């Protein structure tokens, strides 16, 4: 099982002192956070993609390429890559290039974004969100698997005898996750291709995501990729920890109360009760995260949101120390217990390469 962090890349004023980091500071902080993730033994760093303030990560492969050069083991991923508004040809090229530079430590998560206006910024029709996601990904999938592509679709100019370069490393395309907050169509799309499905699992109660993951697992089996419990599931999570539970609550409350997404709404206590957010001791984080398996079955990837709502970099780095030292080792141990042998681990370039070679030997 893989553990990591995902970041939205928001520039948010620290509500405890009114200080707002500059874009430059925030971008550099994201890099520091990614490197810290590797240092404390996490497996994955994923960045969002946004094209409007107060978010900075508009160019994920630039950032991930830089991080790739400063890390050795960390898998670099996205949360999410906009499959609706990016040209699939450019996604194919950018991520294949990144894959080579990072020696295969790359995967990506497809998403439709959360900002309607982004569609016209890239010349796309907002009313076509789902069809764009479907067509663009179908093309991307093809570009990574066929050396010469002839293609015609609804939303972009046709391709004739087109080869996207560089070809994927070792002929193995980056693994793709499909992220969704609400759309069953996306769970269906992930199942169809036998790709991974990532449930954001942050903002809403888990019952909602249980339905989506359940649908994905069922359809994964329907399309013949394996049994439902072999489907590749990733989950989000959101935590704030201190040694003592009360200290965590006291310190995080002002950030929670003013958080851009849910601030000025329910109390911290109500929200932690109703959603997967955990604010407390490392043990409480462990306990809550272990319940995810009861809800969603054995899964492959757990990402935590750690750097948001204006938390200062120093605090985020302390959080990552706690996560890497006290939480994740226990989670690795506990999640391994009773995990059936036929349930796959989180996908890596090596595992995909091995699977490909096995298939070729069999064929």
Partner 1 sequence: MTTRLVVITAGLGRPSSTRLLADRLTAATQRYVTDGNVDNAGGGGVGVGEVGGDIGGDVEVRVVELRDLASDIAQNMVTGFPGPRLRDAVDAVTSADGLIAVTPVFTGSYSGLFKSFFDVIDKDALTGIPVLIAATGGTARHSLVLEHAMRPLFSYLRAVVLPTAVYAATEDWGAAGDDALALRIDRAAAELAGQVTARSVRRPAAAEETFIPFDRQLAALTPKG
Residues at the interface with partner 1 (CB under 8 A) = 130-131, 134-135, 138, 152-154, 184-185, 187-189, 191-192, 203-205, 208, 211-212, 215, 262-266, 270-271, 274
CB 187 within 8 A of CB 219: yes
- Shortest CB 85 distance to partner 1, Å: 17
CB 48 within 8 A of CB 55: yes
Residue 254 vs 263, nearer CB to partner 1: 263
Please report, to the nearest 10 degrees, the dihedral formed by the alpha carbons of residues 8, 9, 15, 19 taken in order.
180
Residue 100 vs 142, nearer CB to partner 1: 142
Residue 75 vs 199, nearer CB to partner 1: 199
Distance CA 117, CA 124 (A): 10
Residue 146 vs 270, nearer CB to partner 1: 270
- Shortest CB 223 distance to partner 1, Å: 8
- Shortest CB 43 distance to partner 1, Å: 30
- Shortest CB 186 distance to partner 1, Å: 9
- Shortest CB 192 distance to partner 1, Å: 4
Residue with tokens 């939303």: 155
Q: Within 13 A of 193's CA, how many CA atoms are on the CB side? A: 22
Residue 266 vs 312, nearer CB to partner 1: 266
CB 137 within 8 A of CB 180: no
- Shortest CB 31 distance to partner 1, Å: 31
Residue 5 vs 212, nearer CB to partner 1: 212
CB 237 within 8 A of CB 202: yes
Q: Which residues pair with 109 in a beta bridge?
A: 177
Residue 215 vs 313, nearer CB to partner 1: 215
Tokens of 70: 């400063």
Q: 11: which DSSP letter?
A: -
- Shortest CB 124 distance to partner 1, Å: 14
Distance CA 295, CA 206 (A): 8
Distance CA 69, CA 304 (A): 23
Distance CA 288, CA 294 (A): 10
Backbone angles phi, psi at 203, to 5 degrees: -85, -20
Distance CA 104, CA 138 (A): 22
Residue 153 vs 254, nearer CB to partner 1: 153
Largest CA distance in the chain: 63
Distance CA 116, CA 129 (A): 9
- Shortest CB 181 distance to partner 1, Å: 9
- Shortest CB 119 distance to partner 1, Å: 17
Cα distances from 167 to residues 30, 107, 324, in angstroms, run 29, 15, 35
Residue 206 vs 293, nearer CB to partner 1: 206
């Amino acid at each position: 099982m893989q553990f990591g962090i995902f970041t939205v890349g928001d520039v948010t004023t620290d509500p405890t002192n009114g200080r707002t980091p500059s874009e430059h500071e925030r971008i550099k902080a994201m890099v520091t956070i990614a490197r810290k993730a590797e240092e404390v033994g996490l497996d994955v760093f994923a960045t969002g993609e946004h094209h409007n303030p107060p978010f900075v990560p508009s160019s994920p492969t630039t950032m991930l390429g830089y991080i790739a050069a400063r890390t050795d083991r960390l898998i670099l991923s996205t949360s999410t890559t906009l499959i609706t508004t990016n040209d699939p040809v450019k996604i194919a090229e950018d991520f294949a290039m990144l894959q080579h530079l990072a020696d295969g430590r790359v995967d990506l998560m497809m998403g439709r974004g959360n900002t309607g206006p982004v569609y016209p910024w890239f010349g796309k029709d907002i009313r076509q969100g789902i069809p764009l996601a479907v067509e663009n990904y179908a093309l991307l999938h093809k570009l990574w698997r066929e050396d010469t592509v002839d293609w015609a679709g609804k939303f972009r100019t046709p391709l004739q005898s087109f080869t996207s370069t560089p070809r994927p490393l070792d002929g193995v395309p980056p693994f793709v996750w499909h992220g969704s907050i609400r759309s069953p169509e996306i769970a269906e799309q992930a199942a169809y291709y036998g790709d991974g499905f990532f449930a954001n699992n942050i903002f809403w109660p888990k019952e909602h995501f249980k339905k989506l993951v359940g649908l994905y697992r069922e359809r994964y089996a329907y399309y013949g990729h394996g049994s439902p419990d072999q489907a590749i599931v990733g989950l989000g999570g959101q935590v704030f920890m201190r040694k003592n539970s009360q200290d965590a609550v006291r310190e995080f409350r002002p950030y929670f109360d003013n958080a851009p997404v849910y601030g000025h709404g329910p109390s911290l206590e109500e929200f932690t009760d109703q959603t997967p957010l955990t604010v407390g001791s490392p043990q409480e984080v462990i306990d809550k995260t272990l319940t995810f398996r009861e809800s969603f079955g054995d899964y492959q990837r757990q990402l935590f949101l750690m750097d948001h709502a204006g938390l200062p970099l120093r605090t985020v780095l302390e959080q990552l120390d706690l996560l890497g030292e006290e939480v994740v080792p226990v989670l690795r141990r506990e999640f391994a217990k009773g995990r059936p042998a036929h349930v796959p681990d989180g996908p890596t370039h090596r595992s995909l390469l091995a699977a490909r070679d096995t298939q070729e030997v069999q064929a």
